[in-house]
Chain A
């Protein structure tokens, strides 16, 4: 992989490469086609999916618009049971807190369950640089860690890999025998992971929901790995984005089946656990220490944007990626972001800079499949449009300005427009000489597609003739 300087150049380069890989695209398309079928069935299990979406959006609106109140309520209840809360304004603060904790407690080995926030702050790199042994326990994340690759999709980290590729990876990295059976592959990973749970002295998790009312965090998973990560080591650290707040415990009765439906097409994810604090006197298991790191890292910047603040409603189900034709064709790595797909394209400019990441908002046909799929009704594709507008308002692109200048003047003058229409068929006579070459003014179209032929009779002329004939 070539590493180009500008994220936009890198994106164009990676998209060239991934769109040319039709077998990979076909595999991703097939996997997501199966998701679509499963999801359709579970949606129908709701009395009304549309009403459920309305209710979910209302609850998240309430939570996100009263973050100050609900996060404090969470902190109060959670600390009353012996938990510790750290408010991290940015990724450096979050990393420092966790590193310090590991140093002070003499931690050697760390096991992690799936946490996109840890990808966001590059936690593994920081921990490994300090000499800690870190292992991902979610099967997909485990595979990606062995591959030294970031997750491909924030819910399905290794969905782009085929069985034989995983088998070859395990053969190489773990010395296992070649196999084509998903069950056997899982057992290989399981055997390796079990020992790590027992040895680890710190478990790091993410969190799907922060429940203010009871001061708990909720973690949803299919493999049981989060339960082991959070229960066996003597220290548990949960790193969670502040937007994951819900006001009441009862809200989960909607959000847990909704997350499962939209995320994977399941009625309910296999394990849904609530964590309320460290082991109390008289209890037989659980960690001795439990820290929750509440991560801002520019989420409050997004909160300050009244137009796009609903992007903080996101429950990271991944539905928008699963239905996105851009994601399906370029794949997750081409985005170059922690959060891929439509929601990633919306929030990354807020988190990492508009000018550096505006191209992701441009790389969309605005088809709206994401908005339609979003369970919490984030207006995703219109936010992409707003990012484009904001980027231009901040800094204009000269060649675009020139094009729109020309277009505006043509459209404002009917005589010029008519002339252009009449000249088009004449101009097109010369097109074959440069068609599809570097000299072709519309090369980025004609390189892969045919250019429409200009009509010899314009619509205006045809209409006039038709009217004349009817008189």
Chain B
């Protein structure tokens, strides 16, 4: 997945619970910046909800998907190869949307997966 030197461009998605319930904005970014060779590119919609929200994603798929669309367009715009987050539910939603709709391959990774490679 992420072999060789980590000469990759990534962007970080703030999961709502991490960001707003726990107030962690900088901590994951600090960790990412400490990864050698990795370039962190901020996206415009970093703090916008990805639209997962548990049962919401299947009870209101049209709204959930519209939210994913806004999020993923912002990810793709940055030109990164990877989107990293610390919330696996968000990643399921983001990866699910990207692999169906993204014009180019963008992979999703959990922050722990990135750090485990170190």
Contacts and interface: CB of A to CB of B under 8 A. Distances in A.
B43 to A, nearest CB: 14
B100 A449 contact: yes
Contact of A371 (B20, B64, B67): B20
Contact of A450 (B53, B61, B95): B95
Contact of B59 (A19, A362, A371): A362
B20 A450 contact: no
Interface in B56-81: 56-68, 70
A288 interface: no
Interface residues of A, number: 31
Interface residues of B, number: 32
A362 B20 contact: no
A365 B55 CA distance: 9
Given A442-B58, A450-B100, A365 B53 contact: yes
B16 A368 contact: yes
Interface string A1-19: 0000000000010011001
Interface string A230-265: 000000000000000000000000000000000000
A267 to B, nearest CB: 24
B96 A367 contact: no
B52 interface: yes
Given A365-B53, A368-B21, A15 B97 contact: no
A448 B67 contact: no
B56 A364 contact: yes
Interface stretch (A40-48, A112-120, A174-182, A324-332): A324-332
A449 B97 contact: yes
B100 A367 contact: no
Contacts of B92: 452
Contacts of A369: 16, 20, 47-49
Contacts of B49: 325, 365, 367, 369
A372 B20 contact: yes
Contacts of A418: none
Contacts of B55: 362
B53 to A, nearest CB: 3
B61 to A, nearest CB: 4
Nearest to B48: A325
A328 B59 CA distance: 18
B61 A329 contact: no
A163 interface: no
Nearest to A20: B62
Interface string A345-383: 000000000000000001111111101100000000000
Given A362-B56, A367-B53, A368-B16, A19 B66 contact: yes
Given A365-B64, A367-B16, A449-B100, 13 more contacts: A15-B62, A326-B67, A329-B70, A363-B56, A363-B63, A365-B67, A369-B16, A444-B58, A445-B96, A447-B61, A448-B62, A450-B99, A452-B95
7 contacts: A16-B62, A19-B65, A329-B67, A329-B70, A369-B20, A449-B65, A450-B100
